[in-house]
């Protein structure tokens, strides 16, 4: 499958958060990041938007816990 988006992380905040999670949560976050990179139409079950322009969140649910990882999307040059 062709990558259509590139992920860029700010400093180490995400990685610190990610490493502190349980394995099941890490797997679900990985799946969400995969969707962000490779799926053109993102399912609303996994991605939501805020009232602010270009501010979105990746929603991860594990048991009764729901995690939201905020991100922005900008148009950049093609990844080809």
User: Tens of pLDDT along 32-67?
Assistant: 999 999 999 988 999 999 988 889 999 999 999 999
| Alpha-carbon span 71 to 55, nearest angstrom | 6
Confidence (pLDDT) at 75: 73
Confidence (pLDDT) at 9: 94
pTM summary value: 0.85
Question: For the chain, which residues make up each domain, given as ranges?
Answer: 13-72
Confidence (pLDDT) at 78: 56
Q: How confident is the model at residue 1 (pLDDT cuts 50, 70, 90)?
A: confident
Q: Which of 43, 54, 41, 48 is nearest to 66 (CA)?
A: 48
């Amino acid at each position: 499958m062709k990558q259509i988006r590139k992920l860029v992380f700010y400093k180490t905040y995400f990685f610190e958060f990610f490493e502190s999670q349980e394995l099941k949560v890490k797997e679900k976050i990985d799946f969400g990041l995969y969707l962000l990179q490779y799926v053109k139409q993102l399912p609303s079950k996994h991605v939501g938007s805020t009232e602010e322009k270009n501010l979105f969140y990746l929603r991860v649910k594990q048991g009764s816990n729901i995690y939201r990882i905020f991100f922005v999307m900008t148009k950049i040059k093609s990844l080809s």
